[in-house]
C-alpha cells in the first residue's frame, strides 16, 4: 500500500502497526496538508456485508465525537473494495507500551490517566456511544502527556469478526466485562468495568484475571472476585482501591452509575493525594502559572497599550470607530429584535407518535407537522424491524416549537451471531464460549463414547459457523465416557415404569418384556423384575418387568364347613386366600372336633382360591368366584 493514494487524497507513507482486524498506516492528506492515520480492514473481513455495514455505521457514530481525549475520525471510504477510516495522527505510544516500559505507575499518575479516559467516556456516553473495547492497546499517550482514546464505536463491528478467533480476542478478553463475556446486554457501565481493569493494571503492573485462553479468562470474569490491588501495591490507599473494586463489580447495578460519577471519585482522590493540585484540571493541561503574561486578545501586554507618543493617530481614528460601533450596535439590536419576534411567533406543535414506523414514513409525518428529525443512534431490537423507529424524544404528545428536530433511535433488527465450534470442549468451556457469542445452551443429551472423555461435547446443533439470531439455543450431546461392559442391576420394585425404563437405558441395559397384572401396589409401579436386584449382568441385557394394574375389584364370599371327627380335639383351623393381592392368612383358631364354622372372606381380582388346613394338614381347597 505504500505510495498509494486513497480517494484521490490520502497518500500512504508507511505502516504504523496492525491488529487482528485492521492495519494502520501513516498517510498525508493532500487536501488539508496534514499527516493522518489510516486504518484499513484486512481483506478477509471485507467480504462480510453485515460486518461492513456495521463498520461504517459505528465509524460514523464515532465521528460525531469531539473531545480532547478522543482520537478524532475525519473520513470513511474504500479503496478497491478494502474499507478504511481516516483518523487523527497521534505521535506517541499506547498505554500498553507505556506500562511495559515503566512497570506499575505511581498512584497519582495512574489516576491522572484514568481521569482523562473517564472524561472521554463521559463525553461519548452522553451521546449514546459505547466503546465496548476499552483496553491499554486502544489508549494513546502523546509526546506531551495527553491521553487519547481510540477506536470508539469500531469495537462493536470487530466483535463478531473476532469472538471465534482465540488469537484475535485474547487481548480484549482480559478487559471484558462479565456481561460481555457471557454475551449479555452491554451498557455504558460495561466500559467502566473495562476501565477498572485498566486502572488495576496501571496501579499493580498485573491483570486481575489471566488464563491460557479467552474462554478461561471469560469464566474468571463471570465467576471470580479479583484480588484487592492493595495486596500487590501497598501504596494504594483505601479510597483508590474502592474506586477500582467498585468498577469491577460483577453486577452492573453495583458499579458507578455513570462515567461522570466515576470521574468525580477519581478527581477527589487526586485532590487528596496532592492538595495543591486543582482536581478539575486534567493531566496534560498547562497550569496557569506556566501561561505567558498576556494582555488583550491574547497578545503580550506591552503590545496592546497604545503609546502616548502617538496621540494624533488615536484622535484620527476615533470618529470612524464611533460610527462603526454605533452602526454595529444598531444592527445587533435590529437582529435581536427580529430573532425574538420570530421565536415568539413560532407556532406550537403537538409531537406525533412515529415509533414502530419506517424512518421514511416517520420523516414524512414529521415534515407534515413542520418538524425535523435527527437519528441519534441505532440499536438492535428483535421485535422492531430494521430501519423502523424504536423511540423518540420528545415523546408523542409533547408540545414543541415548529421546526424543532425530533431525536430518533432506529432499529437494526435482530442481532445475529456465528455459532462457535464447541465439540471436544468441556461443558464449562462450551457454555462460556456460547455465552460469549450471545448464545445459550439448549437440551443436553448424555451418550457413551469410546474416545470423547466424560463431560466433554461430542456434537452440537446448530453446527459450528452457522449464522443464527443471538439468544439461539444450541443443543449439545455430551459424553458419559466409555460404555461399561457389565452392570449391577438395581432394585426397581416400587418405582414408576417410566422412570425405570429411563434408568435401564442410562445403565446400558435393554428393555425386555413388560407384563401387566393386578397386584398389591398402585397401578403403574414395578412389582417384580428379572434379572433380580444386585445381579451383575453384561450391558444390553434385557430387563423383564412385572407392572401392577392395581388391586382390581373387591368381592366377598361366605364359606361354611364342619371340623372333621375321628381325631383328638381341639383342632387348629387355618385358612389362606390366594388372589390378585397375593397369598395371605384370613383365619387361624382352635375348634373342637365336629364344630360348624362359618366365615366371610374378602378377596380381590377376578378369582381366588381358599385353602383350609387342620393342624397343618390340608383339609380342602375351594375356588371363590
Mapped onto helix, strand or coil, the DSSP state of residue 101 is: helix
Q: Which of 172, 177, 209, 173 is nearest to 193 (CA)?
A: 177
Measuring CA to CA, which residue among 118, 115, 110, 186 is closest to residue 155? 186
The three three-digit cell numbers of residue 131, written as one number: 466503546
CB-CB contact of 221 with 209 (8 Å):
yes
Residues in the chain: 625
How far is the CA of 476 from the CAs of 202, 366, 450, 463, in angstroms? 41, 50, 17, 10
Burial of 560 (0-12, 13-18, 19+ CB in 10 A): exposed
DSSP 8-class letter at 509: -
C-alpha cell at 563: 371340623
Task: State the Cα–Cα distance between residues 326 and 54, nearest whole angstrom.
Answer: 55
| Backbone torsions φ then ψ of 34, nearest 5 degrees | -145, 160
Measured N-to-C along each axis, helices 188-204 and 259-273 cross at an angle, to the nearest 10 degrees, of 30
Q: Residue 506 and residue 500: Cα distance in Å, rounded?
A: 10
Considering 78, 109, 133, 475, which one is annotated as catalytic? 133
The phi, psi pair for 71, rounded to 5°, reads -65, 120
CB 470 within 8 A of CB 417: yes
Q: At what angle do helices 259-273 and 107-126 cross, to 10 degrees?
A: 160
**Catalytic site includes residue 596:** no
Query: What are the cell numbers at 42?
Result: 484486512
Instruction: Spell out the residues 6+ positions from residue 319 whose beta carbon is closer than 8 angstroms to its own.
Output: none
Among 371, 362, 359, 365, smallest CA distance to 406 is for 371
What one-character DSSP code corresponds to residue 137?
G
Neighbour-count burial of 344, counting CB atoms closer than 10 A to its CB (0-12 exposed, 13-18 middle, 19+ buried): exposed
Beta strands at 510-517 and 542-548: parallel, antiparallel or unpaired = parallel
CA–CA distance, 441 with 428 (Å, rounded to integer): 11
Distance (Å, whole) CA 36 – CA 10: 8
Phi, psi of 549 (to 5 degrees): -95, 0
Q: Which of 256, 144, 147, 288 is nearest to 192 (CA)?
A: 256
Instruction: Report DSSP state, residue 455.
Output: T
Could you give the 3-state DSSP secondary structure of residue 77? strand
Q: Just list the catalytic residues.
A: 133
Amino acid at each position: 500500500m505504500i505510495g498509494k493514494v486513497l480517494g484521490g487524497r490520502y497518500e500512504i507513507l508507511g505502516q504504523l502497526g496492525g491488529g487482528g482486524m485492521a492495519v494502520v498506516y501513516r498517510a498525508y492528506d493532500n487536501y488539508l496538508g496534514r499527516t493522518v492515520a489510516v486504518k484499513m480492514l484486512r481483506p478477509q473481513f471485507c467480504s462480510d456485508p453485515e460486518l461492513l455495514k456495521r463498520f461504517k455505521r459505528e465509524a460514523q457514530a464515532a465521528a460525531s465525537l469531539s473531545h480532547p481525549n478522543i482520537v478524532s475520525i475525519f473520513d470513511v471510504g474504500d479503496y478497491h473494495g478494502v474499507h478504511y477510516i481516516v483518523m487523527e495522527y497521534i505521535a506517541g505510544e499506547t498505554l500498553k507500551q507505556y506500562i511495559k516500559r515503566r512497570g506499575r505507575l505511581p498512584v497519582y499518575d495512574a489516576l491522572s490517566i484514568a481521569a482523562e479516559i473517564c472524561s472521554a467516556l463521559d463525553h461519548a456516553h452522553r451521546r449514546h456511544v459505547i466503546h465496548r473495547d476499552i483496553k491499554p492497546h486502544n489508549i494513546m499517550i502523546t509526546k506531551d502527556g495527553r491521553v487519547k482514546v481510540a477506536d470508539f464505536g469500531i469495537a462493536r463491528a470487530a466483535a463478531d469478526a473476532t469472538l471465534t478467533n482465540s488469537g484475535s480476542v485474547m487481548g480484549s478478553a482480559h478487559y471484558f466485562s462479565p456481561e460481555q463475556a457471557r454475551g449479555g446486554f452491554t451498557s455504558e457501565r460495561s466500559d467502566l468495568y473495562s476501565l477498572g481493569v485498566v486502572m488495576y493494571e496501571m496501579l499493580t503492573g498485573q491483570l486481575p484475571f489471566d488464563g491460557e485462553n479467552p474462554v478461561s479468562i471469560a469464566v474468571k470474569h463471570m465467576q471470580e472476585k479479583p484480588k484487592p490491588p492493595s495486596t500487590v501495591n501497598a501504596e494504594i490507599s483505601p479510597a483508590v482501591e474502592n474506586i477500582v473494586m467498585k468498577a469491577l463489580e460483577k453486577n452492573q447495578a453495583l458499579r458507578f452509575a455513570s462515567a461522570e460519577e466515576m470521574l468525580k471519585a477519581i478527581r477527589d482522590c487526586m485532590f487528596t493525594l496532592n492538595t495543591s493540585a486543582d482536581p478539575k484540571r486534567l493531566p496534560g493541561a498547562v497550569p496557569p502559572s506556566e501561561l505567558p503574561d498576556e494582555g488583550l486578545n491574547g497578545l503580550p501586554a506591552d503590545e496592546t497599550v497604545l503609546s502616548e507618543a502617538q496621540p494624533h493617530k488615536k484622535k484620527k481614528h476615533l470618529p470612524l470607530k464611533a460610527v462603526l460601533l454605533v452602526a454595529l450596535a444598531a444592527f445587533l439590536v435590529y437582529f435581536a429584535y427580529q430573532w425574538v419576534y420570530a421565536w415568539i411567533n413560532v407556532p406550537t406543535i403537538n409531537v406525533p407518535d412515529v415509533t414502530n414506523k419506517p424512518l421514511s414514513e416517520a420523516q414524512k409525518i414529521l415534515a407534515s407537522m413542520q418538524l425535523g428529525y435527527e437519528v441519534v443512534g441505532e440499536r438492535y431490537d428483535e421485535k422492531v424491524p430494521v430501519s423502523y423507529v424504536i423511540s423518540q424524544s420528545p415523546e408523542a404528545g409533547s408540545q414543541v416549537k415548529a421546526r424543532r428536530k425530533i431525536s430518533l433511535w432506529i432499529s437494526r433488527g435482530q442481532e445475529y451471531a456465528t455459532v462457535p465450534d464447541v465439540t471436544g470442549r468441556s461443558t464449562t468451556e462450551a457454555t462460556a464460549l456460547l455465552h460469549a457469542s450471545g448464545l445459550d445452551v439448549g437440551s443436553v443429551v448424555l451418550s457413551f463414547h469410546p474416545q470423547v472423555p466424560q463431560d466433554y461435547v461430542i456434537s452440537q446443533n446448530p453446527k459450528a459457523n452457522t449464522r443464527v439470531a443471538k439468544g439461539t439455543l444450541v443443543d449439545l450431546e455430551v459424553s458419559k465416557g466409555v460404555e461399561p461392559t457389565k452392570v449391577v442391576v438395581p432394585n426397581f420394585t416400587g418405582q414408576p415404569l417410566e422412570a425405570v425404563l429411563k434408568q435401564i437405558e442410562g445403565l446400558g441395559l435393554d428393555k425386555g418384556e413388560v407384563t401387566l397384572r393386578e397386584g398389591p401396589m398402585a397401578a403403574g409401579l414395578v412389582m417384580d423384575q428379572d434379572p433380580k436386584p444386585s445381579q451383575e449382568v453384561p450391558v444390553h441385557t434385557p430387563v423383564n418387568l412385572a407392572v401392577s394394574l392395581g388391586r382390581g375389584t373387591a368381592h366377598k364370599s361366605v364359606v361354611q364347613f364342619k371340623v372333621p371327627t375321628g381325631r383328638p380335639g381341639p383342632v387348629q383351623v387355618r385358612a389362606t386366600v390366594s388372589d390378585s393381592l397375593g397369598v395371605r392368612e384370613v383365619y387361624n383358631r382352635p375348634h373342637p372336633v365336629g364344630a360348624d364354622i362359618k366365615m366371610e372372606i374378602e378377596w380381590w381380582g377376578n378369582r381366588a382360591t381358599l385353602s383350609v388346613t387342620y393342624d397343618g394338614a390340608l383339609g380342602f381347597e375351594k375356588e371363590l368366584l
